[in-house]
Amino acid sequence: MRHFFLNDVFSLDAKRYRVIHINPRFKLYGFPIDVAKGLPVGWDITQFSSLPPSRLTATSAPEIFRPLQSTQQSQQIADSRWSDIKPLLDGNVLELMERTTRAKAIAHYCELTGKSDRYIMKLLRLLWRHGIHKSSLMADFMNCGRVTADTQGALVLEAHPPTGPQQIVFAPAGNRSRGRRPIFEDYEPYTYPPKFKEKLLGEVRQMYLEDEIVTVRSVEENVLAKYFGRKDSTGEVIRLKNGRALLAPLGKRPSSEQVKYLIKKAVPVHEGHAKRVGDADYRNNIAKSDGSVHDDTVGPGDVYELDATIVDLWLVSRYERSVIVGKATLYLVVDRSTDLIVGFYLSYGKPSWEGARRAILSISSDWEALCKMAGVPYDAADWPAHCVYPNRFFVDQGEGASEKSNVVVEVGGIEVSAAPGASPRKKGRVEGSIALIHVPIKDHLGGYEPQKNVKKRRGKKYLKDARYSLDEMVRPFLLGIRKHNHTVKVNAVLDPKLIYQGFEASPINLWNHNIAHSMGRASRHDFDYMRQRLMPISSGVMKQEGVLYGDLLYSFEAPRYDVLAAYAGHSHETELIVQYDPACVDDIWVSEKTAPDRIYKASLISRFVRFRGLSWPESKHLQAASATSKRKGKAINQELNVGLALDVQAHDRELEQRAKQASRGIPLGTRLSVGKKARVLEAAVREHDHMTSMTAATVAVQGYQPPVVEEPVVLTEDEPQVDDDLVHSAPRDDRHDAEAMACFPPEDMLPPKPVKKTSSSSLLANLRGLAS
C-alpha cells in the first residue's frame, strides 16, 4: 500500500491532486490543483491499495514562479494572511474537508472575525493548491502590470536572433499614451493606433537591420518624414525657408524618445549585431564564450589543429642574397589539448591542401637531423609527440574543404573536419600559436614588415632589410617552437593537486602528464526544495563568458542565458540575484532583478570544473596559490625570452653583414625585378630537390639544404666597378617579363648550374643571368 504525506502531489486518472488532509484510518482528502475553483475531494484510503500504477502515480507539483528573495511587503502580507486563516485551519480542518459542513464552518468563522467569506475561500484555495505553509500566501507583486503574449490586446512581434526565435511584447493600445507626461510643454502625448503601430514596427525592423551604417537617428528621421510630415500636392514634405521640414505638432506625432523606444525594443541588440555586422563577427566577438576548444577533445593526441599563414618577413634568394623573393607560407600543427606544436612546414607556395599534407607529414620528421642541419641543439624530450597522429585534424575551410583531404582518412583512418568560415574561435590553439611564433620575428629579425604597413601610403620599405633565405629562416622557427613548447601557460586550467605541487604547465609537461593519466570524471550534485530556500543570497553579474560570482564562472541551460551573454558581449552586463551554498561552490541559483520569478540552476563552466567539491574559502585559497604559480611561470618565460633573443640576435647579425655585402652597389628596383623570376626559379628548383631527395630531415622545409658559409669577397683594382647610370638606364618591360614567365612553366625548369663565386663587380651580370 502506498503511503501518503501532507502536501504530496499525485495523479489519479490523469488528474493532479495535492494531499491536504489525512485521517490515517478512514479518509484521504485531495485538492484538484489544475481546476481554477476546485474544492476538496475525499477517498476511502483502502481504495488506493487496489489501484494499478497506470491510474495512480506520483507526480511533480506545479512550479511557483517566485523570486529568490521576497520583498518586505510580500512577507508582511503573507504573515497577515496566515494569521487570518490559521485559527480556522487549527479548529475546523475536518469541517472544511466535507461539502456539507464547509460553508457553515466558514460562515461562523467570518461572523467571529469580521472577514469576508470570499477572502477566506481565496486563502484556502491558495493553501490547498500550493501547499499548506505560509509561503503559499505571498503576494505576487512581480506580476502586477506585467504584459505577456496572453494579455488581451497586446502586440506580439516575432524576432529571430541567432539565439533562437523570440517574442517581443508591446502593451495594448489605450486611450492615453503610457509613460511620463511632458514636463516643458502642455500637450497630450501621441498614441499609436494598433494597426499603424504593427505596420510601423515591421518597417522599423527592416530599415534598421539593413546595414551596419544605418543609425537609430536615420530611422527616426525617415519615419517622421514619411508618416508625420506635412505634404504638398506632389507628395513632398513641405520645407520652410531655413530648410526645416514641416512636421505635425507634438501630440499629433510621436516624440523622438517614442520612436527610439520602438526601434530599440523591436530589434534585440544581439539580433541587430548579427544581421547588421554579420554572423561571423557575432560568433567571434558577441556570442557566449563560456567554454573553450578544449571541451572538444578528450586529451592529448585526440585533435590536432592545422592552419596556414603568410609570414611577415621578406626573404632573399638562396642563390643570390641580393635578390628579394617575397614572403613564405607557414603551416603549423598544434595539439588542441596541450598547445604542443607537433609539426610545421615552410614553403613558397600559397596556402593549399598540398602544403597542409606536408605539414601533417612533418609530424614524423627526423627532428634530430633537422635540428643539426639548422644548428639548433637537439633534445629528444623537446619533441614528445614524434610520429604520434591524432584521431582528427581540425583545419580551415580552404584546406579542409578540398576533396584531396580524403587521402588522410583513407591512409590513416584519421577524420578531417573543417571550421566554419571566418571562425578563428573554433581553432584558437593554432591561431594563438602562430601569433606567439611571430613574436621573435617581429622583435629580432631583419626584414619583418608589420601588417598595417602593407597597405599604408608611403609605408616604410622594410624589404630593404631582407637578409634571410627560406633555409636560414628555419633556425629561428625551430628555436621559437622549442621555446613555445617549454613556455609555461600561466592561465592553464590545472587540477588543484597539480597547483599545490607546483606543476609547470608548459605544453611539453602537460602532454607528458596527461598522456599517462586518465581523464577526470564529472559529478552531479543536486539540492532539494527546502535546502534551496535556506541558502544565502548575494548578487553577481552576467559576463560574456558566464555568470561571474566569487571569481568563478557559471552557466545554465536556457535560451535566456544566450541572450544575456550576447548583451554582455555588447557591453550590457546584467546584474543578477545569486543564491549559493556556503559549503560548496558546485552550483548556484540565479535570477534577473527584472524577472525574479524565473530561477535558473547554474553550474561551473569547464574552465572551473576543478573547483568542484570545494568550499568557498578553499576556492579562494586555491586561486591565491594559482596566482603564485602564474607569477613563477612569468619569471621562467622571461628567462626563456631573453635566451631566445640572444640566440636569434647573433644569427641575425651574421646574416645582416652577409646581406649588406651581397647587395652593395645594386639598386633596390633591380633586386625586386630580378626577385620575381628568381622566386619562380628557386621554387621550381626547391620542388625538384624536395621530390628527388626528400628525407625525414628535409620534409619540413621545401627543398631544404643547410646554409653554406660564404667566404668574404675581396675586390681587386683590376675589376671594373658597377656603373649606377647603366643600371638605372636598363630598360624594363613588365609585359615582356610576364610573357616570358608564362611560356616558361615552373615544372619545366631545371636547377641552375653551379655558379662560381665571383666578386661584386660581376654581380649585376649574375642577376641578369638568372633572369635570362
Residue 25, φ and ψ in degrees, nearest 5: -95, -20
Burial class from Cβ neighbours inside 10 Å (0-12, 13-18, 19+) for residue 507 reads buried
Which amino acid is present at 504?
A: E
377 vs 636: CA distance, rounded Å: 20
Q: Mean pLDDT, to the nearest integer, of 529-552?
A: 80
Asked if 260 contacts 220 with a C-beta cutoff of 8 angstroms, the reply is: yes
Question: What is the pLDDT at residue 517?
Answer: 62
685 vs 702: CA distance, rounded Å: 10
Question: What is the pLDDT at residue 736?
Answer: 43
At residue 428, the 3 state secondary structure works out as helix
Asked if 256 contacts 190 with a C-beta cutoff of 8 angstroms, the reply is: no
Question: What is the pLDDT at residue 526?
Answer: 37
> Which residues pair with residue 539 across a beta bridge?
577
557 vs 568: CA distance, rounded Å: 17
**Residue whose C-alpha cell is 624589404:** 463
Summarised one tens digit per residue, pLDDT across range 234-286 is 888 888 888 888 888 888 888 888 888 888 888 887 777 777 777 666 666 66
Which amino acid is present at 268?
A: P
441 vs 309: CA distance, rounded Å: 14
Summarised one tens digit per residue, pLDDT across range 669-708 is 888 888 888 888 888 888 888 888 888 888 888 888 887 6
CATH class of 298-489+639-681: alpha beta
- Kindly report which listed range (288-292, 461-465, 474-478, 523-527) carries the lowest average pLDDT score: 523-527
Helix (H) or strand (E) holding 318: none
Which amino acid is present at 653?
A: R
DSSP state of 119: H
Burial class from Cβ neighbours inside 10 Å (0-12, 13-18, 19+) for residue 273 reads buried
In 3D space, the residue among 664, 641, 344, 648 whose CA is nearest the CA of residue 468 turns out to be: 648
340 vs 744: CA distance, rounded Å: 42
- Kindly report which listed range (72-81, 384-393, 705-714) carries the lowest average pLDDT score: 705-714
From residue 29, give the alpha-carbon distance in Å to each of 12, 40, 41, 52, 97: 13, 6, 5, 20, 7
Q: Residue 540 pLDDT more than 90? A: yes
375 vs 706: CA distance, rounded Å: 9
Greatest pairwise CA separation for the chain in angstroms? 134
Which amino acid is present at 324?
A: I
Where is pLDDT greater, at 137 or 270? 137
Q: Residue 637 pLDDT more than 80? A: yes
Question: What is the pLDDT at residue 294?
Answer: 63
Q: Mean pLDDT, to the nearest integer, of 284-290?
A: 64
In 3D space, the residue among 93, 146, 85, 81 whose CA is nearest the CA of residue 110 turns out to be: 85
Joined together, the cell numbers standing for residue 744 give 616558361
725 vs 64: CA distance, rounded Å: 92
From residue 336, give the alpha-carbon distance in Å to each of 174, 387, 633: 59, 16, 21
Asked if 247 contacts 228 with a C-beta cutoff of 8 angstroms, the reply is: yes
Joined together, the cell numbers standing for residue 267 give 530589434
Asked if 575 contacts 541 with a C-beta cutoff of 8 angstroms, the reply is: yes
Where is pLDDT greater, at 46 or 372? 372
At residue 704, the 3 state secondary structure works out as coil
Question: What is the pLDDT at residue 397?
Answer: 61
Question: What is the pLDDT at residue 433?
Answer: 64
For the chain, report the end-to-end CA distance as a whole number of angstroms: 103
Question: What is the pLDDT at residue 525?
Answer: 27
Question: What is the pLDDT at residue 523?
Answer: 27
Summarised one tens digit per residue, pLDDT across range 2-39 is 677 888 888 888 889 998 888 766 788 899 988 888 89
Which band of pLDDT confidence, cut at 50, 70 and 90, is reported for residue 728?
very low
Could you write out the three-class secondary structure of 620-648? HHHHHHHHHHHHHHHHHHHHHHHHHHHHH
76 vs 577: CA distance, rounded Å: 21
Question: What is the pLDDT at residue 325?
Answer: 86
Question: What is the pLDDT at residue 443?
Answer: 75
Show Cβ contacts of residue 468 under 8 Å, excluding neighbours closer than 6 positions.
313, 315, 316, 445, 446, 447, 476, 655
Show Cβ contacts of residue 626 under 8 Å, excluding neighbours closer than 6 positions.
494, 499
In 3D space, the residue among 152, 163, 275, 268 whose CA is nearest the CA of residue 212 turns out to be: 275
DSSP state of 285: I
Q: Residue 733 pLDDT more than 70? A: no
Asked if 512 contacts 380 with a C-beta cutoff of 8 angstroms, the reply is: no
352 vs 354: CA distance, rounded Å: 5
> Which residues pair with residue 32 across a beta bridge?
17
Which band of pLDDT confidence, cut at 50, 70 and 90, is reported for residue 584?
confident
- The string over 296-321, giving b where at least 16 C-beta atoms fall within 10 Å of a residue's C-beta and e elsewhere, is ebebbbebbbbbbbebbbbbbbbbbb
Walk across the sheet containing 56-58 and list its strands: 41-44, 27-32, 15-22, 9-12, 56-58
At residue 330, the 3 state secondary structure works out as strand
Q: Is the dihedral of CA 286, 291, 295, 301 positive or negative?
A: positive
Question: What is the pLDDT at residue 415?
Answer: 77
Which own/partner contact pairs does 165-168 have at CB distance under 8 Å and 24+ positions apart? 166/268, 166/271, 166/559, 166/563, 168/265, 168/266, 168/268
Asked if 634 contacts 490 with a C-beta cutoff of 8 angstroms, the reply is: yes
**Residue whose C-alpha cell is 627543398:** 703
DSSP state of 237: B
Measure the CA dihedral 97/99/104/107, to 10°: 70
In 3D space, the residue among 248, 212, 213 whose CA is nearest the CA of residue 230 turns out to be: 248
Q: Where do the structural domains in the chain lie, given as residue ranges?
A: 9-58, 72-143, 155-277, 298-489+639-681, 529-611, 705-771
Q: Residue 741 pLDDT more than 70? A: no
260 vs 475: CA distance, rounded Å: 60
Helix (H) or strand (E) holding 669: helix 668-692
Mean pLDDT (the chain) is 79
In 3D space, the residue among 114, 116, 119, 94 whose CA is nearest the CA of residue 105 turns out to be: 94
Helix residue spans in 367-495 (DSSP H): 367-374, 397-400, 406-412, 428-444, 451-454, 474-486
In 3D space, the residue among 349, 378, 355, 348 whose CA is nearest the CA of residue 366 turns out to be: 378
Summarised one tens digit per residue, pLDDT across range 399-453 is 544 555 555 555 556 777 766 554 555 555 566 666 667 666 777 888 877 766 7
Summarised one tens digit per residue, pLDDT across range 602-634 is 999 988 888 888 878 888 888 888 888 889 999
142 vs 117: CA distance, rounded Å: 26
478 vs 382: CA distance, rounded Å: 11
Q: Residue 503 pLDDT more than 80? A: yes
**Residue whose C-alpha cell is 520652410:** 240
Tell me what percent of the residues of the chain surpass a pLDDT of 90: 9
- Kindly report which listed range (10-24, 272-286, 374-388, 469-483) carries the lowest average pLDDT score: 272-286
Q: Residue 126 pLDDT more than 80? A: yes
Q: Put residue 458 in one of left, alpha, beta given phi > 0 → left and psi -120 to 50 → alpha.
A: left
Q: Mean pLDDT, to the nearest integer, of 514-527?
A: 45
Neighbours of 108 (CB within 10 A): 13
- Kindly report which listed range (74-83, 247-256, 457-466, 573-582) carries the lowest average pLDDT score: 457-466
Asked if 317 contacts 682 with a C-beta cutoff of 8 angstroms, the reply is: yes
Which band of pLDDT confidence, cut at 50, 70 and 90, is reported for residue 80?
very high
At residue 264, the 3 state secondary structure works out as helix
